[in-house]
């Protein structure tokens, strides 16, 4: 894609007034954390639902120990997650150099997309920009918390127009629904004895969790630590398979 004369002039002007390396502004950290904290109730609900299913399935009788363990695990998980979020925020760097857009971040594979290979730029939730390259996995998320964000956006628009994100299905638009579908399916597998319901619910949860595991492991936007923790999904898959075997075959 060739630049027009006006776009090339804008490109030159922008390069003359802004840096080539952009980091998140420290004063934007509270905004970043507030967005993350809004997910806490859903995370707590998901975790509690998973553990509750296991509680009733295994016939655990010590309710006090169950509650204490749940609270401790959730608190530890929250503290670890908070530390990683802070590291992710302050280590994020967007580099514009030699007609190339590069994103660097701790524990996340680096990504580089030449400007002439930008296929699309989509505006997603809360002002984030998703820059897509020619290859399916070539994606860079431009955070709205960086310095001179408006100028960076203008520069990117000189190469490719920014368009609203187009969701392929309802689960992409509302990710929480996908999680609720998994939870509901798991609950039916563990707590229902109707073979047809168990079979349909089991296939649903196995498909959804299997797809989630694959996307996490193959994505170039997911942190290395998250990819390691994704192996925990296999434990839940084995648990589901075991429950289905007990109810459908034994």
> CA 45, CA 240: separation in Å to the nearest integer?
19
Give the pLDDT confidence score for residue 85 in this predicted structure: 86
Can you say how many angstroms the Cα of residue 86 is from the centroid of all Cα atoms in its chain? 16
Higher pLDDT, 11 or 169: 169
Strand partners, 146: 24
Kindly give, in sequence order, each residue whose CB lies less than 8 Å from that of residue 114, ignoring residues fewer than 6 positions away: 99, 100, 101
Give the pLDDT confidence score for residue 249 in this predicted structure: 85
194-219: average pLDDT: 91
Give the pLDDT confidence score for residue 1 in this predicted structure: 43
pTM, 2 dp: 0.71
> CA 153, CA 95: separation in Å to the nearest integer?
13
Give the pLDDT confidence score for residue 48 in this predicted structure: 65
> CA 58, CA 206: separation in Å to the nearest integer?
20
Q: What share of the chain is helix, strand, coil (3-state, %, to 5)?
A: 60, 15, 20
- Give tens-digit pLDDT for 219-233: 878 878 788 888 888
157-183: string of b/e by CB count within 10 Å (b at 16+)?
ebbbebeeeeeeeeeeeeeeebbeebb
- Give tens-digit pLDDT for 39-76: 666 666 666 666 666 555 555 555 556 566 667 777 77
Domains of the chain in sequence order: 5-23+93-164 (2.30.29), 25-91 (no CATH), 168-245 (no CATH)
106-126: average pLDDT: 90
171-193: average pLDDT: 83
């Amino acid at each position: 894609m060739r630049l027009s004369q006006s776009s090339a002039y804008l490109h030159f002007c922008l390069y003359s007034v802004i840096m080539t390396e952009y980091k998140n502004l420290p004063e934007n950290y509270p905004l970043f954390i507030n967005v993350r904290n809004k997910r806490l109730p859903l995370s707590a609900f998901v975790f509690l639902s998973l553990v509750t299913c296991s509680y009733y399935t295994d016939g655990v009788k010590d309710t006090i120990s169950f509650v204490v363990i749940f609270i401790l695990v959730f608190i530890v998980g929250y503290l670890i997650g908070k530390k990683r979020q802070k590291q992710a925020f302050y280590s994020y760097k967007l580099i514009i150099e030699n007609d190339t857009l590069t994103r660097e971040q701790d524990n996340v594979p680096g990504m580089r997309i030449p400007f002439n290979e930008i296929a699309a730029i989509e505006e997603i939730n809360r002002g984030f920009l998703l820059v897509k390259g020619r290859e399916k996995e070539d994606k860079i998320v431009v955070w709205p918390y960086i310095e001179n964000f408006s100028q960076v956006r203008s520069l990117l628009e000189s190469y490719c127009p920014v368009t609203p994100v187009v969701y392929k299905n309802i689960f992409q638009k509302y990710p929480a629904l996908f999680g609720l579908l998994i939870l509901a399916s798991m609950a039916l597998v563990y707590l229902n004895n109707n073979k047809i319901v168990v079979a349909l619910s089991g296939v649903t949860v196995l498909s959804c969790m299997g797809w989630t595991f694959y996307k996490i492991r193959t994505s170039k936007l997911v942190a290395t630590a998250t990819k390691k923790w994704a192996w925990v999904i296999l434990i839940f898959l084995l648990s589901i398979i075991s429950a289905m075997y007990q109810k459908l075959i034994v």
